[in-house]
Chains A and B, each alone.
Chain A
């Protein structure tokens, strides 16, 4: 719909001939067609008017009170049970709690099992196959990173002894 009529739609629909939009309507087929559609909808909407005698049955207030008593005060739990969004949050929270529970149980079992707990996390450096730079440059970089990590760990362990620190530094440089 064109800007000329956009601000005057309510006046045009009300049938005002003096509206600035009425002039535009005479010349514009597109706006005329849209206004016709809006008029049809307005007429359909008026069909939703109830008959004048539409009234609730006598004793309505008493029934409202009964319903209020039956429903009771709204609690925080109603948010989770009555709205679809609340229900989704409740289901997601339960699923998360379940996952956390499974994780905690399985991690405790690993800690308690002496076989699983005593397994080294990494293969000792000496047992690892030597990879040349020509074969796999990426793997060499990973191997170097592991070596640095191990040396740093050793430095941390032996930091009480200055000689051991020096020895480790020499080993690191050689590597």
Chain B
């Protein structure tokens, strides 16, 4: 797909020329997407709101560097995931969800609204699992992180990812495979560290 000649490209060019109405259109088009990506990772509405604003501020300041090699959504997606991980790194959030951050309303919403979730798994186990996968994702590169999230969280197919990123399907498959392997290795290292830590503490 030619990302240079689409309707979206025309919109981007208007923003690059500092057309405020065009920027507003981009914000309104993607604000829900950006917010839900961040909320999915952090599970905190205030943080999601704050980081979403930061994402669009970054889009505004760096859209001049957008080179039309990928779709605008792919570019915004990368910025969003990077901002999330910057936030996690800066705040040195060891535990993804603190009790104080996690309201009862959020807990009920989580229980009720996630179709992929196994209801038999207790909420604290699920939070620990989410914590684990967020931690594992920090062990892969920015590009790999965005790609695997677009595949598994957003549910895009390999063909769609190829179209969105401007890469060919085989490259996407290889990148996804490498990312999955890195996640497995990171998980195995983490397990070894935990087992070793427990043994050391017990000795």
A: residues with CB less than 8 A from B are 1, 6-7, 9-10, 34, 37-38, 41-57, 60-61, 63-64, 67-68, 71, 73-74
A67–B113 CB distance below 8 A: no
- Are A48 and B40 neighbours in the complex by a CB distance under 8 Å? yes
Let me know if B27 and A61 touch, CB within 8 A: yes
Distance A31 CA – B165 CA, assembled complex (angstroms): 29
Interface pairs (15), CB distance under 8 Å: A34-B184, A38-B184, A41-B136, A44-B130, A44-B132, A47-B114, A47-B126, A48-B40, A50-B36, A51-B110, A54-B48, A64-B56, A68-B61, A71-B57, A73-B61
A51-B113, A53-B113 known; A10-B61 Cβ under 8 A: no
Interface contact A46-B152, CB-CB below 8 Å: yes
Q: Which of the four size classes fits the interface of chain B?
A: 35 or more
- List of A residues within 8 angstroms of B176 by Cβ: 9-10
> Which residues of A have CB within 8 Å of B117?
47
By the criterion CB–CB under 8 Å, are B133 and A45 in contact? yes
Known: A44-B129, A49-B114. A56 touches B35 (CB 8 A): yes
Given contacts A37-B184, A44-B132, A68-B60, contact A50 B126 (CB under 8 A): no
Q: Is the CB of A61 within 8 A of B32?
A: no
Q: In chain A, what residue has the closest Cβ to B20?
A: A65
* A46 touching B52, Cβ below 8 Å: no
- Is B180's CB under 8 angstroms from A64's CB? no
Cα(A37)–Cα(B133), bound, Å:
12
